[in-house]
Amino acid sequence: MASTEETVVGEAPGGLSKEKLLELLRAMLLSRRFEEKTAESYQMGKIGGFCHLYIGQEAVAAGAIGALREDDYVITAYRDHAQALVRGMSPNSVMSELYGRIDGCSRGAGGSMHMFDKSVNFMGGHGIVGTHLPIATGVGYAIRYRQTDQVCLCFFGDSVVNGGPFHEAFNMTAKWELPVIYIVENNSYGMGTDIDRVAAVDELFTRACAYAGKRAEQVDGQDVLAVYAAVERAAERARTEKRPTFIEAQTYRYLGHSMSDPAHGVYRTREEVAEERERDPINTFVDKLTDAGVLTDDDVEAMDKEIIDEVEAAAEFAEASPVPGPEEVYAHVYSDEYRGGPDGRDAWR
Ligand SMILES: Cc1ncc(C[n+]2csc(CCOP(=O)(O)OP(=O)(O)O)c2C)c(N)n1
Ligand SMILES: [Mg+2]
């Protein structure tokens, strides 16, 4: 995307407008601060169930979704808070869902792994490893059927490339020439399993060459601009050539697999985590922006404070939101026709 003189100060990183650069930084900071609050609330017992944090991987969601149009679709796995927020779901809705409250996007019934909001074309939040890839194929098919030029962006983890759904989904997506972008977040681990222990070829993007030919590439997932550029190219290809692309984003999670996993785990060393933290995607992007004169340290601090306030407000909102009543047990099980009441048949129209 071309930069303009009015909006860019100095040499614009990535050739992007100042507005776009700030949007990318804001997306990453919001994800980070939101999840720091999530961890705190979880430890205080306010959030229950499975909860997987994305801290360290923010550049992937921010860069990839930042390169899409608002009417494109996004689908992801269970590590989904950042994707939901960056796609435009409100922090109040996501936090309330984490708290299991009625104002959550799934009325508190889904929790951490099941963020969903049709109004922003965010198709979830899916807990079973790999099974949302065929759903992405279906979304791509729906786009083709409706003859629009939207695209579907599908995030997933590195362990997925060894499973059947990856190969089945990608094969049909390529055969049917569907506008889907698959982006694997290679953070080197599937729970406590090092990808090197289970993948015959650890350059994961090469797995997709059988289906995508040269439309498969590897990017530095800690560099938000590199991710942005790769997805922008892929989206253009999907809209014009109606072809899928496979992107491997090399990234790293700083915390445990989930809230019930120790921060480092026994499968990796503290030194490795410390070394990876040196490549923190937010710090490196802030340095890039301040070096280029796009932002001052004070600007960054002001943005950060505003985001922290927004996240605190979301936690207060969630805290005040009611716990779902017993009538919710039967809601949305079969259809929207249910009109409330825990007491039997008359509750159905
Ligand atoms: C079909 C299936 N098998 C096993 C699990 C248990 N499980 C949850 S997360 C996970 C590892 C996934 O790792 P990866 O795809 O690399 O994603 P990451 O957690 O690194 O984001 C496994 C095996 C599951 N949810 N679904
Ligand atoms: Mg992984």
Rounded CA separation 168/183 (Å)? 16
List the Cα angle 15/230/75 in 5-degree steps: 125
**Ligand 2 geometric centre to CA of 61 (Å):** 15
Residue 348 lies in a domain: no
13-33: average pLDDT: 96
**Ligand 1 geometric centre to CA of 155 (Å):** 13
Arithmetic mean of pLDDT over the chain: 92
This prediction's pTM: 0.93
DSSP for residue 161: G
Residue 344 lies in a domain: no
Pocket test for ligand 1, best of 191, 193, 194 (most atoms within 8 A of CB): 191
Q: Where are the alpha helices (DSSP H) in 126-269?
A: 132-146, 164-175, 195-198, 209-212, 224-240
pLDDT reading at 301 higher than 60: yes
228-233: average pLDDT: 97
Query: How much is the pLDDT for 346?
Result: 47
Instruction: Identify the band that residue 335 occupies on the pLDDT scale cut at 50, 70 and 90.
Output: low
**Ligand 2 geometric centre to CA of 4 (Å):** 38
Residue 259 lies in a domain: yes
Query: How much is the pLDDT for 337?
Result: 56
Pocket test for ligand 1, best of 35, 113, 159 (most atoms within 8 A of CB): 159
Residue 156 lies in a domain: yes
pLDDT reading at 327 higher than 90: no
pLDDT reading at 312 higher than 60: yes
* Residue numbers of the domain that contains 35: 13-328
**Ligand 2 geometric centre to CA of 191 (Å):** 7
Query: How much is the pLDDT for 79?
Result: 98
Query: How much is the pLDDT for 212?
Result: 84
Residue 75 lies in a domain: yes
**Ligand 1 geometric centre to CA of 301 (Å):** 36
Instruction: Identify the band that residue 336 occupies on the pLDDT scale cut at 50, 70 and 90.
Output: low
Domains in the chain, number: 1
Residue 111 lies in a domain: yes
- Residues 28-60 have pLDDT tens digits of 999 999 999 999 999 999 999 999 999 999 999
314-323: average pLDDT: 98
In short, whether 198's Cβ falls inside 6 Å of ligand 1 is no
pLDDT reading at 108 higher than 90: yes
Nearest ligand to residue 156 Cα: 1
CATH of the domain at 208: 3.40.50.970
Closest protein CA for atom 18 of ligand 1? 157
Residue 339 lies in a domain: no
Nearest to 64 by CA among 230, 294, 304, 243: 230
3-state secondary structure of 158: helix
In short, whether 166's Cβ falls inside 6 Å of ligand 1 is no
292-301: average pLDDT: 96
Query: How much is the pLDDT for 254?
Result: 97
Closest protein CA for atom 25 of ligand 1? 128
Rounded CA separation 347/341 (Å)? 6
The DSSP secondary structure of 145-156, one letter per residue, reads HHT----EEEEE
**Ligand 2 geometric centre to CA of 340 (Å):** 41
Contact criterion met (CB below 8 Å) for 92 and 317: yes
Instruction: Identify the band that residue 1 occupies on the pLDDT scale cut at 50, 70 and 90.
Output: very low
Query: How much is the pLDDT for 263?
Result: 74
pLDDT reading at 93 higher than 50: yes
Instruction: Identify the band that residue 347 occupies on the pLDDT scale cut at 50, 70 and 90.
Output: very low
Residue 171 lies in a domain: yes
Give percent above pLDDT 90 in the chain.
83
pLDDT reading at 227 higher than 80: yes
- Identify the weakest region by mean pLDDT among 4-13, 68-77, 290-299, 331-340: 4-13
